[in-house]
Each structure stands twice: as C-alpha cells, then as structure tokens.
Amino acid sequence: MIPYLSSKNQDLLLFAQKRKKEYASAKPFPSIHIHDFFNAELLEEVLAEFPDLSKGDNIEYNDPLQKKFAGQGEALFGEKTKALMHYLNSEPFLKFINELTGIEEQLFSDSYFSGAGLHEIKPGGLLKVHADFNKHPVNNLDRRVNFIVYLNKDWKEEYGGHFELWDKEMSQCVNRFLPVFNSIAIFSTTSISYHGHPNPLTCPADRSRKSLALYYYSNGRPDEEAIAFKDGHNSIFVKRKSDATDSQDWDAYAERKRKKPLLKRIYRKIFG
C-alpha cells in the first residue's frame, strides 16, 4: 500500500514537535501552511477520484458572500479518498493535531464530515472572509481546528484562489498563499480567526479550486475562549475595511434576504 505521508514526516509526533512553536507564534492566529505533506503518488490518485460537485445532489452555496460547492458526507469519496479521510480522522492523526496545536483537551474527529469533506469552487466563485461555526451541529462539541488539503496541480498565481488570514480588526490580510497541490493549511478556529478566499476565482473555465476539509472538536475549551464561544453560532462573515466591493456584496446579500420572505408570501397567496 502507498504510504499516506511524504518521506520527510513519517514520524508525525516528531514532525509536530519540530513545528509546534511555528504554529503557536503564527500571525494573525495559530496556524501553519505546509508543502508536500502527503505522499504525492497517493494524492494523485485522490485527485483522479475527485467528482464534479456542480453535478448531482450536492450542496451549492450561491449568494454574494459565498459561491461554492460541497459534497455531503462521504457518499462521493472514491476508494483512495475514503482511506485518506479515515486516516485523517484516526487516533494517530488526532494525537498529531493535539501535539502540533498545543490544544490540551482531547480532540475528536467528525465521521459525518458535517460541513467538511469535498469542497470545490468554480471560476467566479469565492468565500468571503469569515469565522467558522463553532459547535458541532449534532453533538454540540466545540470546533477547535481546521485541516485543509489542496489538490490543485499546476496552479498559477494569476488564477487567484489565495487562502487569506486576516487580523481581528479586518484592516489587513496578514498571511496568504496559493492553494497548490499537496499543500495543507491547519489553523485554530475561534470566533475571530478570520479567513477566506474573498476574491472571485479567475482560473480557466476548465479548472476549479479543489480541496478536502476536516474539522476537529473538543468537549469544552479554555476559559479565555468561553465568552466568545458561550453560544453556538453559524459562520460569521466580516467586511474587509480596505475593499469597497465587500460593502456592495453585503448590500446585495441583505437585499436578497429581504426579498426571500416576500417571494414566499406571494407563492403561498397564489398556490395556497
């Protein structure tokens, strides 16, 4: 069987110990971006299995703040993808995430891939800067870490799709990188860990931005995070102070939400 990991990080705990200071000290919040994390041959096979998420019974987000597609659970996982995703939800990998992030609470994986799994953004798509939902929708565990695997071969700078990390004042993008093949992003999730892919994707029509996402949870979190996470919340979208298009998009989003109840009332009046 092809190994999951590249030869340079076969000992995950040792790898985590070497990089944990880098993770903890990253700005604007604890995070890390790593190239060539997986065995490239395995990831090639995973990419070959990746379906077109714009087709079939998948989730489509289509409003001014997010234009993307997502799979539901593991129904569309191919054989290699399923093996990799199960490995990333396994005990050894959870211990690696605990060690790298410095999170003291025991971490739990999400076998249902709630909001996680296969993600795809087509040309023109985007995901405005936001902080993620903070509670698991079923068991109410606290969301602590995001792990994202990028699958985009020969990805060029001009295609866009940069993953951006923003400061809590939303005054500047502190870190950004291209979603290139066999690179990963790991970051701690709080109600001010603002991140996203806020500018429309400009890749060719036959390309798309593909990724695998996993989320890790704990039962409770540190006291210093208790106020921000006292109640459960959905994704919190925030405006970039330096970008006028965000205000336009927010106005369009608000207008769209305002019209939806009106359309429902008209529909009920006509059709009962």
Q: What dihedral angle (degrees, nearest 10) is formed by the CA atoms of 261, 263, 265, 266? A: 170
The runs of H, that is alpha helices, within 62-172 are 79-88, 91-101
Beta bridge partners of 149: 184, 212
- pLDDT for the residue 270: 37
Q: What is the predicted pLDDT for the residue at 263?
A: 41
Between CA 150 and CA 139 the distance in angstroms is: 28
For residue 124, give every residue at least 6 positions away whose Cβ sits within 8 Å of its Cβ, in sequence order, or none: 67, 200, 201
Amino acid at 5: L
Q: Domains for the chain: give ranges and CATH numbers.
A: 7-241 (2.60.120.620)
Predicted pLDDT of residue 271: 36
In sequence order, the 6+-apart residues with CB closer than 8 A to the CB of 146 are 132, 185, 186, 187, 189, 213, 214, 215
Residue closest to 127 by CA, chosen among 80, 172, 183, 67? 67
Reading the chain (272 residues) residue by residue, the pLDDT tens digits are 789 999 988 899 999 999 999 999 999 999 999 999 999 999 999 999 999 999 988 999 999 999 999 999 999 999 999 999 999 999 999 999 999 999 999 999 999 999 999 999 999 999 999 999 999 999 999 999 999 999 999 999 999 999 999 999 999 999 999 999 999 999 999 989 999 999 999 999 999 999 999 999 999 988 777 556 667 888 989 999 988 888 888 888 887 777 765 444 433 443 34
Residue 265 is predicted with a pLDDT of 40
